[in-house]
Structure formats: C-alpha cells, structure tokens
Amino acid sequence: MTKQLPAALFERVLEESPDAALIIDDDGKICYMNAALQPLTGYAPNEVLGQPLDGLLPASVAAIHHGFLQHYIHTGAASKVLGHVREFAIRHRTGETIPILLKALDLGVADGVHYFGAFMVDMRARRAQEAKTAALLEQLEQQAMTDSLTALPNRRAFDAEAERVMARGRRHRAPTSIGIADIDLFKQVNDRYGHPVGDLVLCEVAKTIERAGRGADFVARTGGEEFSMLFPDTPIKMARLVAERMRRAVEATSVKTPDGDCIRVTISIGLAALAPDAAPAQALALADAALYHAKHLGRNRVETA
C-alpha cells in the first residue's frame, strides 16, 4: 500500500511533524532534518546538511559517537540504543543542552550507503512542569512538617527527626538527649490578654528557644505551649547547660502587646537521655516526668530524669 504512494507525501509528513526528525549517513553526516529540529538546535537545515552529527551532540557523547557508529556498521553487534525510546540530550548552537526523548533507527542501506534516522521530542516543557510539581510537593511536605503559628517544625517533623537522630546515634554510638519545655502558667496569659496576644507570646518564646540552642539542636512545637528538643551527640550534662541557656533567654525576653503592656513568661524544661536501644517515646516519657517535677518544684527550672 505505502509503496504506491509518492515519496513526496512521506517527506511532507516528516516536514509537518511536530516531532523533530533527522537522518545521517554511515559517516555520521547529516543528510536530512525537518523544521521541528530547528528550535532544538538553533540551526536551519541548510546550515547543517553535510555536517557531522557530532556538532549537535553533548561533548561527552560526541567524543565517542563516531566510533560506536562504525563499530555497529562493521560488526553488526546488537545495539542497546537503536529501536528504543530513551531520554537523551542535544546541543543547541548556543551551547545549551536540550533534554529530549529520542528514538534512533537503523534505516538500512540504499544505493550502497547505510542510513540512520532519529525522532526527537522536546522535553523542556515537561521537565519544567516536573520541576514545578516537585517544588510544589516539597512545599506541601514542608507545610505538613511545620507549625503554622511559630514556623517551627511540628510533632510530625519532630518524630521523624527523633527516629533519624536515634538511628545515627546507634550507628556512631553517640549520646543523644531529648527535652520537653512548657511555658509556665500560660493559661493566665490567654485568660488575661486573649488568644491573639497568647499567640504573640508563643511565637516569641519559640524564636527565643531556637536562637538559644546550638546549630545541631532541633526544636519543635509539639503541643499548645509545649516545645520538644533534640540534642544530637550530646550527653545529658551538656544538654542541661544548653537547656539552662534556653530557660534564661526566655526569662529575659519580654513581649509587648498591642496595648503597650509588657509580658514576661518563663519555661520549665525536663530532660532525658535517649538510649540507643530505646524508642524515642520512652525518652519523651522520662523527659515529661522530669518536666512535671520541674513544675512541682516551682517552675522556671530545668530537671533531668
């Protein structure tokens, strides 16, 4: 059926195709390219006809392409490229590398010349959309792991980080400490000034605790006025020093209300060692008990389990 159709019809189909098409000879020189290839290369057909294909290939591929082509022609070895659709890249005249979807074909021999063809699909739009989707997913994941009020990590993020820190501690036999801080008498702040002011206090305490920690310490808001801390590679004595610094920093901080009042609050902190063979929940329970003990002893203090 197709043999009865004029060759000009097939050439027109190639010319009008939205996909780029290319034909090279057995010396790797370009014999044909359609209009759709121009946006990928920056070259008009008359600029590249008779030129080596290597000029359109990434440098690492161009260096070996001719050798592979000749090896295939002279040995007939099976090709992992020909006949298969794969992701590839083409070099634009500006030097930019353009991602493409490529299907290369062995077109056979005509008049003693071995020809090869290729169809190419521009992947730039798809890659851009994939990057946009990945960024959106990352943003959503970040939001899912962040407390919307204080911008600290939330309970979910803390649990994940605790598992990671615990696993690292097991591998390196490193001590890890865990802590829970609670704003003292916070209900009185809400009752007297209202929840909007209470939120201002929460945000200021969150920033203060985080700033007073070290770079490797992890602070999260895990409850209404409760914050949890991880101290990687830190024995309990050192964690207590850091926790004391956090406590003093909060004690020295004041929050000014919209009405001009100045509010000062304190925090109580309970600490516990995170044993390598124990679940984080066990250490948290011990830290919570130490926090309760700190509250019982008068608040605004650090206690260890």
Tokens (6 digits) for 209: 């605790």
Q: What is the mean pLDDT of residues 143-150?
A: 92
The per-residue pLDDT for range 168-179, each reduced to its tens digit, is 888 888 899 999
Q: Which of 235, 230, 131 is nearest to 174 (CA)?
A: 235
pLDDT of 15 reads: 85
Q: How many CA atoms lie within 13 A of 141 on its CB side?
A: 7
Torsion of CA 216, 222, 227, 230, to 10 degrees: -30
Pick the catalytic residue from 161, 204, 210, 225: 225
Q: Report whether pLDDT(1) > 80.
A: no
In the chain, CATH 3.30.70.270 covers 145-304
Confidence band for 2, pLDDT divided at 50, 70 and 90: low
In the chain, CATH 3.30.450.20 covers 2-127
CA distances from 295 to 182, 183, 190, 247 (A): 9, 10, 19, 13
Confidence band for 158, pLDDT divided at 50, 70 and 90: very high
Output the CATH code of domain 145-304. 3.30.70.270
Q: Report whether pLDDT(4) > 80.
A: no
Q: Which of 186, 269, 180 is nearest to 227 (CA)?
A: 180
Global pTM reads 0.64
What is the distance between the alpha carbons of residues 135 and 106, in angstroms, rounded to a whole number? Answer: 40
Confidence band for 232, pLDDT divided at 50, 70 and 90: very high
What is the distance between the alpha carbons of residues 228 and 267, in angstroms, rounded to a whole number? Answer: 12
Output the CATH code of domain 2-127. 3.30.450.20
Q: Report whether pLDDT(276) > 80.
A: no
pLDDT of 252 reads: 96
Q: What is the mean pLDDT of residues 16-35?
A: 93
What is the distance between the alpha carbons of residues 136 and 131, in angstroms, rounded to a whole number? Answer: 9
Q: Is 225 a catalytic residue?
A: yes
